[in-house]
Amino acid sequence: MNTVIFILAAYLIGSVSFAVLTSKVFGLPDPRTFGSKNPGATNVLRTGKKLAAAVTLLGDGAKGWLAVFLALRLAPVYGLDETVVAASAIAVFLGHAYPVFFGFHGGKGVATVLGILLALNPWLGLAALATWLLAAYMWRISSLSALIAAVFTPFYGWLWLKSGVLVAAVAAVSLLLIWRHKSNIQNLLSGKERAIGKTQPGDSPPQ
């Protein structure tokens, strides 16, 4: 029963969409209605409100970190092992991607995965972030950078995590992240994926 509670709590934490909530607080259009229609920091940034995008980024990362941090600290108290931590990591990602509070229409999960990784091991999270930054510097495409980081992250997990179960969880969220970018992969293959800072018709939010 305790295992179910941990997993459900992680999913509900993940289901809090900071892109939608932050947009409401800042009086911005719903990020699900313009641009990529993805409720994430990148789409919020298309409104021109950098502070709102930053709050979204930090919030989405923080909820991933919080769910895993709580599982790491509280699971032993209830006699539970790292399997619960691994399940919580996956659950908080699924909550972000398919939030029950917002019609199961969630974001891609890049910031949330970073928060998960930082909670599991700070070096793991920093390695994934450095990979994203390097790829973004080289190719200037956010989605491509996320995909490259997702490919390398399980290897980083193998280096820094002592638990095979946690490494498996890292691999699982990395695969889920790639799956959430399937439309971006199609755009990359067709040469249509937009570069960082470049806009296309329909990017601007409704007035």
CA 19 – CA 37 distance, rounded (Å): 11
Residue 199 located in a structural domain: no
Number of domains comprising the chain? 1
Structure tokens at 18: 């900071």
- Decide if 34 contacts 206 (C-beta within 8 A): yes
> Is 201 within the bounds of a domain?
no
Q: Per the domain annotation, does 205 fall within a domain? A: no
Q: Which of 104, 153, 109 is nearest to 129 (CA)?
A: 153
List, for residues 101-118, the tens digit of each pLDDT value.
Answer: 999 999 999 999 999 999
Burial class (CB in 10 A: 0-12, 13-18, 19+), 34: middle
Tokens of 30: 């719903």
Model confidence pLDDT, tens digit, residues 21-49: 999 999 999 999 998 899 999 999 999 89
177 pLDDT band, cuts 50/70/90, is very high
Residue at 27 is within a domain: yes
Those residues with Cβ within 8 angstroms of residue 53's Cβ, 6 or more apart along the chain or in another chain: 41, 42, 44, 45, 47
Under a CB-based contact definition with an 8 Å cutoff, are residues 137 and 100 in contact?
no
pTM of the model as a whole? 0.95
**Which domain, by its residues, includes 121?**
2-190
